[in-house]
Amino acid sequence: MLKIGVVNDLHGRVNNPISRLDNFPESILAKVEYVLKNNDITIFTGDIFNTYLTGILFVNKLLSLLVKYECMGKTILMIEGNHDLIGRDYDSITDTSLGTLTMGRNWLLTKRYITFTGDTPIEILPMRFIEDKPVIAKSKQADSYKIVVGHAYFEHPEYNDKWHVTSEDLGGKGYDIILLGHDHQYYEPVELKGGGFVLRSGSISRSTIDERDRELYYTQILIGDNEYDFKYVPLPHKPANEVFKVEDVSKEITRHKKNMEKIIELLQVEDSKLYSIDEALKELKCPQKYVSLIGEVLDD
């Protein structure tokens, strides 16, 4: 029996989110380790990092953890999320933290497929967006179990996001399981017309106060003896009141965020030049320690 564990939207970072009291980077690394330990293959469905340039200390810790389990015979696979890339450009990967993490490793599922042979062949097929259309790598083995890995919203037009897929994109095409990152919420499995299940067990981390009461799960797929099964497995985590600050923080963040967005908007109008957050803050002579703090709040 082959066990596949799925890590959705890790959002790894070197600093604590403003709303967290505990050591957030260590807390999410512990969750990754839990999945690695209990599965043969671990798949990351994108947004491994919160920003495309994440502190090297965290990148190194994650790298060490993954390499440790890889040396124990575990397989690691991942696709890019919007947070991992610069402007959602797949070619930017070499300039990002995900590029650093995967350099010289065979972890990225890009423009290729992975086949596990044996009595129950499996293909793991990456989904990417080309001109905002979902494109899934071609299957090469008709009789295999097909698992698609993507980073996209599913049937969620109100988010008005370009990385978005529908039942028509995925159903009746011979895919058994479609794993989707991007949406941090938990959804029950969706069975598609024409076969296949869309699985979204939600982000394994809670980095913002809005997520404080969300239960944490990871998806586990079990394959063997010519059949497969899947379930959402609860992830051990501390109670919300131990790791989150009081609720008022959320209102504060929203207020500061709105103010910042307004300021940036005004700066752009005056100079008709596109300011980044950092540039805007420098223009305002904002001390460096606040630049990084506000940058983090806006990233959330």
Where along the sequence are the contacts to Mn ion (CB under 5 A)? 9, 47
Rounded to a whole number of angstroms, the minimum distance from the CB of residue 122 to Mn ion is 26
Contacts of 88 (CB under 8 A, 6+ apart): 82, 129, 162, 163
Rounded to a whole number of angstroms, the minimum distance from the CB of residue 277 to Mn ion is 19
DSSP string, 195-263: S-EEEE---S---SGGGTT---EEEEEEEETTEEEEEEEEPP---HHHHB--THHHHHHHHHHHHHHHH
Rounded to a whole number of angstroms, the minimum distance from the CB of residue 278 to Mn ion is 21
Rounded to a whole number of angstroms, the minimum distance from the CB of residue 50 to Mn ion is 8
Rounded to a whole number of angstroms, the minimum distance from the CB of residue 270 to Mn ion is 33
Cβ nearer to Mn ion, comparing 49 with 228: 49
The single-letter DSSP state of residue 53 is S
In 3D, which of 18, 107, 93, 3 has the Cα closest to residue 62?
107
Q: H-type helices in 38-158, by residue range?
A: 56-71, 97-102
267-277 b/e with 16+ CB inside 10 Å = b? beeeeeeebeb
Cβ nearer to Mn ion, comparing 3 with 156: 156
Cβ nearer to Mn ion, comparing 40 with 161: 161
In 3D, which of 52, 59, 73, 38 has the Cα closest to residue 102?
59
Tokens describing residue 117: 């042979």
Cβ nearer to Mn ion, comparing 128 with 146: 128
Rounded to a whole number of angstroms, the minimum distance from the CB of residue 204 to Mn ion is 11
Chain residue whose CB lies nearest Mn ion: 47
Cβ nearer to Mn ion, comparing 101 with 122: 101
Cβ nearer to Mn ion, comparing 16 with 115: 16
